[in-house]
């Protein structure tokens, strides 16, 4: 995996492919390549290299790649390391068929053994090369038929783009478990794993579904299922803003997105809060409102940053609505054979809406009869389309791999869901008005918090050479501590762990010495004095304390090494504000260490394989 851009039309393909790949760089990758059908000699011209798109561009100057049909790819290594040989596209033995692939072929070893027994020589360590040879094995002059036949025996997940030099007017795409969409223009068509790669060309999109195989020609396309039966897919119009994908005056997308949070939260809540009624109106849940009144249990399933947002949501829903909530790692959910009753509601949370583990959890929940609602940022994503309903974040494009504004938007959406459920059950009109107004005020409070960036930079300069961090919080702020530690790990490569503050004495305190910075999230609330007690214990063992707290919490002044004071709001909504300083701390430390903040090593924006 990670990104596919393909083109068939009347324009030179290579500039379109290269520009599309650049728009997918934010997803993370370690190599890139393309195959273009040379219109001068009718042969495939293939160039691929480890490293960045710039290296691919330089390498492309050495060949003649004129032609209006081509496929391209950015790869994140799964089978085989990030080398020139393992980069995509992969070719059949005769060099006539080229394939790019997102996903994992689970039975590639068995298929490879068959091919080797037939005399096929492999040059890479990838599962994708198996696909190219396997399609070639069935090719008898019709590429579409060869792909259909080959896919019958391939197990696993794939988003495929395939071309053949014998058929200069054909581009084949196939999808199972890995996103793929068509961008439609007059006399030209784009095939991509991410619509941001083609938004500058068209807003007319056709999303492929699992087991779809599309045959694209210059004058149109047809879609079949994997058995060769015709299927119909609707064209949709998507909204896009190219400016959203530009850094502007910011040095990194991550910093830009941290500072976009006030506007992202305004967009997230706009038209959804009914302040005078103390309630929320979420259009994506309208069809489920009656059912929501009867639920007696909620499961929220997610991965990574979304999981920590879900943990905050658990506290919100249980406190305001009195409904028991369980938060499950999506990667474990379907393997536990989860018990789902008739009145159990399942929420899936994913920024991209393409997370493979979360999609698998969604399918498992639906298989067991649950109503599944989604919380996603990307409109038209697979999870959004597979759900029974849901709520979009409207946070805008998030390019930086380490999620920031999507996290705070997820927490705000979960707070509005909790408000809606609470008003159906236990929240009074007066309580609802107080909470709705508190949610509505969050963008302004986040704006105030962002003004602390320079102060946090000064703190970062004291600790950017550290090798370990601990993050502590209680109740609502335990998941904030977990998310803060994750951010630091993701972009600074410093080992960091998040714990409930009270757990420090059950083992982790053994790690405390003068070289261990400890970040404590301790706004003034009912548990403040208990967290202060934990902090005193850490200080007594020589730990360095960075405390995120609210105004007038004087006991901390006596012993904290650094204090970050943030605005105060409803206790349950403090995670939205408290997470911002932790984002900035991670960002500044990573920059001081000279790291690639937007595309940290080994990470991708959308994890589409197990």
Q: Active site residue: 22, 96, 489, 605, which one? A: 605
- 465 is an active site residue: no
DSSP category for residue 25: G
Please report the DSSP string for 386-426 in residue order: HSSEEEE-------SSS-SHHHHHHHHHHHHHHHHHHHHHT
Contact yes or no for 184/205 (Cβ under 8 A): yes
Residue by residue, DSSP assigns 589-606 as HHHHTT--SSS-TT--SS
| DSSP percent split of the chain into helix, strand, coil, nearest 5 | 40, 25, 35
605 is catalytic: yes
Q: What is the rounded CA–CA span in Å between residue 461 and residue 458?
A: 5
CB-based contacts of 142, cutoff 8 Å, min separation 6: none
In the sheet where 181-185 sits, what is the strand order?
A: 44-50, 31-37, 69-75, 2-8, 188-192, 181-185, 204-207, 235-237
In the numeric block, the tokens 């209680």 are attached to 474
Hunting for tokens 């259009």 — which residue is that?
Answer: 283
- Long-range Cβ contact pairs of 536-544 (< 8 A, separation 24 or more): 537/504, 537/505, 537/509, 538/504, 538/509, 538/512, 541/509, 541/512, 541/513, 542/512, 542/513, 542/514, 543/470, 543/512, 543/513, 543/514, 543/516, 543/517, 543/518, 544/463, 544/514, 544/516, 544/517, 544/518
Which one-letter DSSP state was computed for residue 177? B
The active-site residue out of 2, 164, 315, 553 is 2
CB atoms closer than 10 angstroms to residue 357: 22
SS3 240: coil
Q: State how far the alpha carbon of 473 is from the alpha carbons of 191, 521, 528, 548, in Å.
A: 46, 5, 10, 10
* CB 207 within 8 Å of CB 193: no
**First-to-final CA distance of the chain:** 12
Q: Residues 483, 308: contact at Cβ < 8 Å?
A: yes
Selection from 63, 20, 16 nearest residue 40 by Cα: 63
The CA distances from residue 379 to 390, 395, 504, in Å, are 11, 11, 41
Q: Which two structure tokens, joined as six digits, stand for 241?
A: 């803003």
The CA distance from 301 to 307, in Å, is 7
Say if strands 389-392 and 371-376 run parallel, antiparallel, or are unpaired.
Answer: parallel
Give the 3-state secondary structure of 218-234: CCEEEEEECCCCECCCC
Residue of 518, 523, 589, 596 lying closest to 560 (CA atoms): 518
Phi, psi of 206 (to 5 degrees): -120, 115
Answer positive or negative: Cα dihedral of 416, 420, 425, 430: positive
Asked whether 56 and 25 are in contact (CB, 8 A), the reply is: no
What token pair was written down for 365? 């929940």
- The number of beta carbons lying within 10 Å of the beta carbon of residue 228 is 12
* Catalytic residue numbers, as ranges: 2, 605
């Amino acid at each position: 995996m990670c990104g596919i851009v393909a083109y068939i039309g009347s324009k030179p393909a290579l500039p379109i492919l290269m520009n599309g790949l650049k728009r997918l760089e934010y997803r993370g990758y370690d190599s890139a390549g393309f195959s273009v059908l040379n219109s001068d000699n009718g042969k495939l011209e293939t160039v691929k290299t480890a490293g960045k798109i710039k290296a691919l561009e330089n390498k492309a100057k050495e060949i003649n790649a004129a032609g209006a049909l081509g496929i391209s790819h950015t790869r994140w290594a799964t089978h085989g390391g990030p080398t020139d040989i393992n980069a995509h596209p992969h070719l059949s033995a005769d060099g006539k068929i080229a394939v790019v692939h997102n996903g994992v072929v689970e039975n590639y070893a068995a298929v490879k053994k068959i091919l080797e027994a037939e005399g096929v020589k492999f040059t890479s360590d990838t599962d994708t090369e198996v696909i190219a040879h396997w399609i070639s094995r069935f090719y008898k002059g019709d590429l579409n038929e060869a792909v259909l036949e080959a896919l019958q025996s391939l197990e696993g997940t794939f988003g495929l783009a395939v071309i053949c030099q014998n058929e200069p007017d054909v581009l084949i795409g196939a999808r199972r478990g890995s996103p793929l969409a068509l961008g439609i223009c007059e006399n030209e068509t784009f095939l991509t794993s991410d619509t941001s790669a083609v938004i500058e060309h068209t807003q007319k999109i056709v999303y492929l579904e699992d087991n779809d195989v599309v045959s694209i020609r210059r004058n149109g396309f047809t879609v079949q299922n994997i058995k060769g039966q015709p299927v119909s897919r609707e064209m949709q119009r998507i909204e896009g803003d190219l400016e959203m994908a530009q850094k502007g005056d910011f040095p990194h997308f991550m910093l830009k997105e941290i500072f976009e949070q006030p506007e992202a939260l305004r967009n997230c809540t706009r038209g959804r809060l009914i302040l005078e009624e103390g309630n929320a109106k979420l259009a994506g849940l309208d069809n489920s409102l009656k059912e929501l009144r009867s639920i007696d249990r909620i499961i929220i399933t997610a991965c990574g940053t979304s999981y920590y947002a879900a943990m905050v949501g658990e506290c919100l829903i249980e406190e305001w609505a009195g409904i028991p909530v369980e938060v499950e790692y999506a990667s474990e959910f379907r393997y536990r054979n989860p018990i789902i009753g008739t009145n159990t509601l399942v929420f899936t949370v994913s920024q991209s809406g393409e997370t493979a583990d979360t999609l698998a959890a969604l399918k498992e929940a639906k298989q067991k009869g649950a109503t599944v609602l989604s919380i996603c940022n990307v409109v038209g994503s697979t999870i959004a389309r597979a759900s029974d309903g849901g709520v979009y974040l409207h946070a805008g494009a998030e390019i930086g791999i380490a999620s920031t504004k999507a996290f705070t938007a997820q927490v705000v959406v979960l707070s509005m869901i909790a408000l809606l459920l609470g008003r159906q059950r236990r929240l009074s009109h007066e309580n609802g008005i107080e909470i709705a107004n508190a949610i509505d005020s969050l963008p302004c409070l986040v704006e105030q918090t962002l003004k602390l960036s320079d102060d946090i930079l000064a703190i970062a300069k004291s600790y950017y050479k550290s090798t370990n961090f601990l993050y502590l919080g209680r109740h609502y702020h335990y998941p904030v501590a977990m998310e803060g530690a994750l951010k630091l790990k993701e972009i600074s490569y410093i080992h960091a762990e998040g714990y409930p503050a009270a757990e420090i004495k059950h083992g982790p305190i053994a790690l405390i010495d003068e070289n261990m910075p400890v970040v404590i999230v301790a706004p003034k609330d009912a548990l403040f004095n208990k967290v202060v007690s934990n902090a005193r214990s850490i200080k007594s063992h020589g730990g360095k304390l960075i405390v995120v707290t609210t105004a007038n919490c004087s006991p901390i002044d006596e012993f904290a090494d650094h204090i970050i004071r943030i605005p105060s709001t409803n206790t349950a909504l403090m995670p939205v504000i408290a997470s911002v300083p932790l984002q900035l701390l991670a960002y500044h430390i990573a920059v001081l260490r000279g790291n690639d903040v937007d595309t940290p090593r080994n990470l991708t924006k959308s994890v589409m394989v197990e």
